[in-house]
Structure 1
Amino acid sequence: MMGDDFIENRTFDEIAVGDQARLIRTLSLSDMQLFGLATGDADPDGPDAVANGMWGGGLIAAVLGTQLPGAGAIYRSQSLQFVLPVRLGDTITASVRVVEKHPEHGVIVFECRCQNQNGEDVVLGRAEVEAPETKLRYVRSALPDVSISTHDRYRQLIERTQGQAPLPTAIAHPSSAHAIAAAIEAAKAGLIEPILVGPEKKLRAAAAEAGCDISAFRLVAADHSHDAAAKAVALVRAGEAKLLMKGSLHTDELMAAVISATTGLRTERRISHAYVMDVAGRSSPLIITDAAVNILPSLKDKADIIRNAIDLAHVIGIEVPKVAILSAVETVNPDLPSTLDAAALCKMADRGQIVGGILDGPLALDNAISEAAAREKGIVSPVAGKAEILVVPNLEAGNMLAKQLTFLGGADAAGVASRSTRRRTRGTRCA
């Protein structure tokens, strides 16, 4: 017997021939992925995968283990025939019926069946179970929330590049096995054509440690990390490289070469950093800016940071990104400068000084990314709860937010530094 708050098993003596129990469940993508992880199935997402039929067999085991007989039952044997495949979205009714009892061993034979929403048999079979002798009754426990991080957003971004030529990329000082391996991985994915800039002996040692063959790539010798940064930037200035990639050196070393007044990559817009985050449960990438370059940005700096982030969002396929300008609260407070900046930035968008997205702020983090939190605060906005770009008040906040998502939330992060001069005609408005 199963109540709302308790689960109770049924002993051998309480069970009669003809007794039945059933369980109804709809096969979701997360069910398929979890079952694939548990079984090692290589393609748990396949709509006709064998594992999906086995998932139906798992439902039968769940009925026997939780309802009839329930807790304390011991599986003796099972024979199942998989008649039809179970597909994503199918609603399966798994049922068992007692057909035989064997008192000498305490064994019960069940007829087992799974049917889909059309009444078609998908699994048929029999199971022998040793029924419990002891009565058990216990409090029903809530199942934990389980999520699977598949990082599909990055896969989708990579797929968008297919068919395009890889871009020559100057990689500054990739002198560790990890950095070399990342460059090779990007090259194999068809994203870049690496130009390795650094001390040749170190580069070859790192490649050997990583087990990578770098013989096909151009090597540009440099004396040390500072020299590698300068020479990598020079390759971009000369047009020999289209992208600049950080290797095993400190960010400030690379950025010093980038922003040099005489040999750097200056334009009229301030350079800024953004993390493109692949966060579990989100349907699109989340951009967080600025977490590595601008320590305490001014209002003018923040305007450029937002323009760069909007351009980045366009590049990765977000046509009109929703931009949340973050603070600790969602109302303007003269004692919190970040709220004043947010209000000013929104007015700049109203006046056409920032274009290409929809701005709103100030917004606290919860009501920027959670529609439920925004509703609770009474915020009516096309951005609140749906933000695709999060603009943080300073580098410390952005760095901590991105690393919390990475190390506590299982997100993946790709760091991008950009400074675009492209003019946008798509309208921007402030929520």
Structure 2
Amino acid sequence: MAKNRTFDEIEIGESATLSRALTINDLFVFAHASGNINPVHIPDIDWTGDGKKDDPIAPSMWVGALISAVLGNVLPGPGTVYRSQTFRFLDRVHLGDSLTATVTVTNKAADRQVDLATRVTRSDGTVIAEGEAVVTAPDRRITFDAAELPGILIERHQHFDRLTELASRLPALPVAVASPDDPHSLGGALLGAREGLIVPILVGKTADIEAAAAEIGADLSGIEIIDVPREDAAAAMAVSLVHSGRARAVMKGHLHTDMLLKHVVKRDGGLRTGKRLSHCFVMDIPGRPSPVIISDAAINIAPDLLAKVDIVQNAIDLGRAIGMSEPKVGVLSAIETVNPAMPSSIDAAVLSKMAERGQITGGIVDGPLAMDNAIDVQAARTKGITSLVAGHADILIAPNLEAGNMLAKELTFIAHAEAAGLVIGASVPVILTSRADDERARLSSCVLALLYDYWQQNGAALTTDTPLTGEASQ
């Protein structure tokens, strides 16, 4: 609650301070609000052109705005109007710097004029800026509750940025791409190759692949193409490349998902592991502290309890592969209590108990949970739910494909999440691309495949501290 000091209450010599640390979001908000898109002030870009992301510095007027915050919030406070402000900027501010802004009253004059000395210092005592402010102080008491101020959501997808940077430490993953004979599927595979994430082996009709490359102006030099005239045969060949050790992942091209998965799950020559295949969407949702995994939204239409056991285990495995040490799994239903008339609530309760008994491993599973109390702590508290998962779910298990698909698309198109997907349960990761996927989604799906492959090979997730030697390093 901000409360002001009226002109009559203000005394010469009194002062006020506010402290704040510079964050990435501060820089994004200031760039949008001011229109100042000088790349020197924008995070996560290479503005010097040396191939490395440069450390941004705060715009000087962002520093000056800290003085405005003291004047408007504390002294004189709400109702204050600027007349003039001078600044001398003596040093620069970098991400994480903690600053203190101070104003001190030096004079009072007619027409409620108040003069103040202004200063901004870093936590080590360095003076960043100093100057003088002249304001008109309020003549009546004004208070303001900050809760009345609407919030701002920054659409920044730092989770995929982090995972991409992590995966870039690994050698490119050999991937068999089945029938990449249209611009979308071929473009996605070549994009992953350009970014050093995958080494694509293109399996399909050579003439059609070359025509698709010509359509998007892509150069296929150095890219291996295996000429297979039919889509069904291309899917079979892609799977066989895994068996021969030439590929460690499979990517869907311009063919139906069922045709590819038919060869993945076939008993002779497939990639079966004894587990049911399931699809996992990894969602990078603005404002969420970590990614959220949704399953299954693409393969299992109406899974029974045994299928859901594998769906949950697959999602946990992927979560661990991308750095979730013990993923928290919320099994969704429309309610958070068991109701025999609602089969999804019974399945959720059984899955939770199975995890307690070690039949599902590597994560903490709880259900049934409704969507609100699975992801929102206050909603869980309001309903009296005591759980390690409620309000903190990393993984959301949908009762069926329709619910999972709607949830993933709502988050993408309404909450502005970015999504990447992977099929888990085969001996290698399977990348399913969609014509609706943008470049970021395709790249992020390749990142997931690379990190999951590393987890499969090593039994542990890759971290920034993991030493890489030999074939595991670039």
Answer whether TM exceeds 0.5 for this pair.
Answer: yes
Q: 1:35 to 1:180 in 2, by over 3 A?
A: farther
Q: Which range is displaced more, 162-171 or 403-412? A: 162-171
Residue identity in the other structure for 1:293:
I
Give the distance between the partners of 2:215 and 2:271, measured in 1 at CA. 33
Q: Which range is displaced more, 314-323 or 36-45? A: 36-45
Aligned to 1:35: 30
Aligned to 1:429: none
Give the distance between the partners of 1:22 and 1:247, measured in 2 at CA. 63
Residue identity in the other structure for 1:35:
F
Residue identity in the other structure for 1:378:
G
RMSD: 4.2
Residue 241 of structure 2 is aligned to residue 235 of structure 1: yes
Q: 1:209 to 1:138 in 2, by over 3 A?
A: farther
Residue 324 of structure 2 is aligned to residue 330 of structure 1: no
Aligned to 1:82: 90
* Bigger RCO (CA 8 Å, 6+ sep): 2
- Residue 251 of structure 1 is aligned with which of 243, 248, 257? 257
Q: Which range is displaced more, 294-303 or 224-233? A: 224-233
Question: Which consecutive unaligned segments of at least 5 residues does structure 1 have?
Answer: 427-431
Residue 291 of structure 2 is aligned to residue 282 of structure 1: no
Kept after mapping to 2: 8 A contact 1:52/1:86? no
Kept after mapping to 1: 8 A contact 2:204/2:231? yes
Give the distance between the partners of 2:347 and 2:263, measured in 1 at CA. 30
Secondary structure in structure 2 of the residue aligned to 1:170: strand
Kept after mapping to 2: 8 A contact 1:270/1:301? yes
Aligned to 2:200: 194
Q: CA shift at 1:249, angstroms?
A: 3.5
Q: CA shift at 1:217, angstroms?
A: 1.2
Q: CA shift at 1:76, angstroms?
A: 8.1
Q: How does 1:131-142 map to 2 (within 5 A)?
A: 142=148
Q: How does 1:76-225 map to 2 (within 5 A)?
A: 79-83=87-91, 85=93, 88=96, 90-93=98-101, 95=103, 112-116=118-122, 120-125=126-131, 142-223=148-229, 225=231
- Residue 50 of structure 1 is aligned with which of 47, 53, 57? 57
Q: CA shift at 1:362, angstroms?
A: 0.9
What per-residue deviation string (whole Å, max 9, x for no partner) do you get for residues 278-303 of structure 1? 12233332111111000000111111
Residue identity in the other structure for 2:247:
A
Q: 1:96 to 1:36 in 2, by over 3 A?
A: farther
Aligned to 1:308: 314
Q: CA shift at 1:89, angstroms?
A: 5.1
Kept after mapping to 2: 8 A contact 1:346/1:359? yes
Q: CA shift at 1:255, angstroms?
A: 2.3
Q: Which range is displaced more, 21-30 or 240-249? A: 21-30
Q: CA shift at 1:375, angstroms?
A: 1.4
Kept after mapping to 1: 8 A contact 2:271/2:426? no
Question: Which consecutive unaligned segments of at least 5 residues does structure 2 have?
Answer: 45-53, 428-455, 461-474
Kept after mapping to 2: 8 A contact 1:174/1:198? yes
Q: CA shift at 1:143, angstroms?
A: 3.0
Q: CA shift at 1:196, angstroms?
A: 1.8
Q: Which range is displaced more, 169-178 or 92-101? A: 92-101
Residue 348 of structure 2 is aligned to residue 348 of structure 1: no
Kept after mapping to 1: 8 A contact 2:331/2:366? yes
Secondary structure in structure 2 of the residue aligned to 1:296: coil
Q: Larger Cα Rg: Structure 1 or Structure 2?
A: 1
Give the distance between the partners of 1:253 and 1:260, measured in 2 at CA. 11
Residue identity in the other structure for 2:101:
T
Q: How many residue pairs align between the two structures?
A: 417
Q: 1:50 to 1:178 in 2, by over 3 A?
A: same
